[in-house]
Amino acid sequence: MPLKKKPVQVPWDLNVGDDHYLKEPWTLKKGKEFITIETNNNTKGNFYLQKDDEKRLSLSALQAKLTFHQLIEFGYKLQKPKKKKTKDQPIL
């Protein structure tokens, strides 16, 4: 009998102020490979998915959500954006 896992929310379903909110594009990384997901501004509800420097694919919202969950299961990790250094911060 399979274990029921708590479903992982996709980043584009979160709003500003929610825990784990990240701005797009969302990058998933595994080793040296990375996959970027971003919204398609030309048609609402569609997303672009691109692996490394390969051709960008257009996906529906459902396809993007299922692909995101599958990538997480395959060991990809959602990357948090790196904080930019400001002039006021000391370099350690």
pLDDT at residue 18, as a whole number:
72
Closest CA to 77 of 2, 20, 39: 20
pLDDT given at position 5: 63
Give whole-number Cα distances, 10 to 1, 53, 63, 71, in Å.
Answer: 26, 23, 12, 12
Cβ 6 vs Cβ 18: under 8 Å:
no
pTM of the model: 0.74
**pLDDT tens by residue, 11-41:** 887 777 777 667 878 899 999 999 999 988 8
Burial class (CB in 10 A: 0-12, 13-18, 19+), 64: buried
pLDDT tens-digit series, residues 49-68: 999 999 999 999 899 999 99
DSSP labels for 3-59? PPPPPPPPGGG--TTSTT--PSSEEEEETTEEEEEEE-SSSTTEEEEEETTS--EEE
* Residue ranges per structural domain of the chain: 22-78
Residue 64, amino acid: A
